[in-house]
Structure 1
Amino acid sequence: MVPWGLVALCETRTMFLAGWCLVAANRAQQLPRPSLSLHPSQGVSLGDNVTLRCHVSQTAARVWLYKDGRLTSEKDIDKEQDTAEFSLVGIKQEDAVKYWCQYQILEPLWTSNMSDPVELRVTDPRYPPPHIFLRADEPVEEGMNVTIQCQNQNYGGIIFLHKVGHSAPIQHQEPNGGGTANFTLVGVTPADAGTYRCSFRAGGCCLLFSPLGNNVTLEVTMTHAPSGASPRSPDAVQFQVSVWVPPGDCEGLTYAELRAVTPSTCTPSPSAAPESPIIYAEVGTGRPC
């Protein structure tokens, strides 16, 4: 990938510039790509402040920040730094776009490829939060299908389904003509239980989202015990102990008969009751032969 700053030159058809652009592209491939991160990365609203950090793995002289494909800022960093910070103060609607960064080193004079893009998603409180409804029979049992319905009052855009505890939406879709999106959870399990909310992205140029709406809670009832579960705990085994001392045992041992009994709430039939296992133990009495 040729750095964006070289694209215009590389479109020239002369042999000299074509060769120079090929060399520049090869040099860019030898440099590790930078990474760009947002702080905070979530919950940003209009008017908030955001910091973009471009992380480089080489000693860089200059770092560029691109906003929606256009160079918007640059910063020089010294040899002791591996991060350049760019501050966005008082986020506006037009700031809710994609960002990239790129860096250049001096010795040799090479320029890196672009970082992966990051999206600055901004909540616009002017949009009303969508409503959410749980469409399912009660109680919801494991294996059933559940529909969660979100309505955004015909504002268009894309509706997102959020689950509390997840950093990103778990599903999204365009609403129907009535401004409603139906999200189906197929064959639910206990892992699907939780609290859900909706938001929507407004149409247009920017990554503007409504606030999160009201919530619904999904509870899933298990229909059977987990696979491999034992109906009785190993600690539920009891012992009946009988002790006798045979006369004249020259080893001075007492033989104890331990008959294992498994507790049960049912009274077994005498004809069907199995013979209890017998365990023999040797207990010293200290009696001489």
Structure 2
Amino acid sequence: MVVDLILAAWVRLYQYQYATYIKQKDNVQEMAEFSLAGIKQVDAVRYQCQYQGLEQPGTSEKSDPVELVITGIPPPGISLSPEEHVEMGTNVTIRCWNNIYGVAFYLHKDGLSAPIQHQKHSVGGTATFTLFGVTPADSGTYRCSYRIVGFCLLFSPLGDNVTLEVIPRPAIPGDNGGASRDLVAVVVGRWVAVIVFIIILTVSVLLVAQRRQMQRHERTGDTSRSPEAVQFQVSPGDSEGLTYAQLQAVTPSTHPPASSTTPEPPIIYAEVGTRVPC
């Protein structure tokens, strides 16, 4: 670890969040350099530096932490079930393993910076990840890594990869997806509208025809109606003492006379005797 300075009485190296320094260099002129030999798993932590100035006495704040990542541990193995090509909606299992116990496994997908799944406590050096109901979006290349529990910065390199290809389900003949369903719905809707219009038009025509027929019957009337009243018309008596009466039958009607061609009501003549018998 290298620290750039101008003049310092001393420079100290700390493990992150620890109050006690682990190394110190005195009378630093321009730069302080710290070396860690024989790196072990416990050395995979964060580090900070602090110094005391000469020209301006006083102690500085601790620097931003830096991470020490240890590599060189073996990468994990990986397997895929079912094999590579699967149909959409299938559950896919990815297994990761190594020969080290007490590790946390991570599942990575190429193209994504962060792991997509992780398993904190593996059983027997093996972790199982499941992708439920896969879709074409799940197609891609997958890898595994692991971290030794208790050492936040001790990660394995990415292992071998497996490739998953999700095959879309074959389309139903005549089904072109949402666009076709929308087109069918529009066509059906238009046919329903046409049928309703035809029904309404037919009912309207029938009602008009029935109304006209009723009006025609009302104008024609019934010519066989019986007389309701009798009008008497009496002529002068003759030389024999007979009197003739003219009887005119009046037919009731609720309508005004249709025309001048309508036949006159019948006239009934009756002979009436007015003399007293001998």
TM tier, smaller: 0.3 to 0.5
TM-score using structure 2 length: 0.42
- Which of these two proteins has the greater Rg computed from alpha carbons? 2
TM-score using structure 1 length: 0.41
